[in-house]
Structure 1
Amino acid sequence: MSKMIFVNLPVTDLPRSVAFYEAVGATKNPIFSDDTAACLVFSDTIHAMLLTHEKFSSFTDRAIPDAHQTAQVLICVSEDSRDAVDAVIDRAANAGGQADPNATQDYGFMYGRSYADPDGHIWEVMWMDAEAAAQGPEAFAAQMGGG
């Protein structure tokens, strides 16, 4: 069985967040969802657990930061093409998120953009040329002007 990742995110308005992530392309898994949490599925191995602040606080004593003001993590997911990256960012912006809170990264063989969800959590979306990736880190450095 492949390893799975469950990104747990505190959200202020669970229904709004569910609608946002569905618009971006995730599917809600009702088996692992209730009025305090929702499991949004991006792929067989990538899931976002959207948790009300009260539910999130039941897992940790640490304060929930305001993601509009601070960044604790940058979550990055891949797409199959540059056009697919742009399409995700467009869907996020049209659903009430912020397009490109971070600068676009375009190295020719690698392309990435980002969006912030309504709570300010930043997701990076990237595409990389598989042939370039197979050449290893030295090829990346050369293509980026580092060697």
Structure 2
Amino acid sequence: MSRMIFVNLPVTDLARSSAFYEAIGGTKNPKFSNEQASAVQFSDSICVMLLTHDFYRNFTSKDVIDAHRTSGVLLALSCDSKAEVDAMVDKAAAAGGKADPGPKQEFGEMMYGRSFEDPDGHHWEPNWLSADAVEGGAVALEQA
């Protein structure tokens, strides 16, 4: 079985957050969703788990952050093209998110990235890497 990643995010309004993530391309999995959590699949190996604050607190003794004020993680998601990056950011803004809270990442024909925040302030960075960048790694990006 291949590894999967489950990104668990605390949210203040589960219905609003579920609708947001579906609007940017995710598919809600009803088998793992209820009034406390919503599972939104982006691929066979990537699932975003949206958890109400009360439910999220079952998994940690730490304070739940306000992602509008504090950055705890930058979540990068690969895209197949520059156009797909732009489309995802546009969809995020149209669905109630904030477009481009961080700087664009433009490295010519090697890499392109933008960012958005979801309604709770979680920072996402959709990005596109050329086959040359994937093959050459960070050295290729430094030379771009």
Match for 1:122: what amino acid?
Answer: H
The separation in 1 between residues aligned to 2:36 and 2:133, in whole angstroms, is 43
How far 1:142 moved relative to its partner?
Answer: 1.9
Distance 1:136 1:21, change over 3 A: closer
User: Following superposition of structure 1 onto structure 2, how do residues 1-147 of structure 1 map, counting pairs within 5 Å?
Assistant: 1-108=1-108, 109-143=110-144
Q: Across the two proteins, how many residue pairs are aligned to each other? A: 143
Structure 2, unaligned stretches of length 5 or more?
none
Percent sequence identity over aligned pairs: 55
Match for 2:48: what amino acid?
Answer: A
Kept in 1: contact 2:101–2:117 (CA 8 A): yes
Kept in 1: contact 2:97–2:116 (CA 8 A): yes
1:95-140 CA-to-partner distances (Å, cap 9, x unmatched) read 0000001011101110000110000001100001012321343332
1:10-49 CA-to-partner distances (Å, cap 9, x unmatched) read 0000000000000011000000000000000000000000
How far 1:2 moved relative to its partner?
Answer: 1.4
Secondary structure in structure 2 of the residue aligned to 1:58: helix
Distance 1:136 1:71, change over 3 A: closer
Name the larger-Rg structure: 1
The separation in 1 between residues aligned to 2:136 and 2:39, in whole angstroms, is 37
Secondary structure in structure 1 of the residue aligned to 2:7: strand
- Alignment TM-score, normalising by the size of structure 1: 0.94
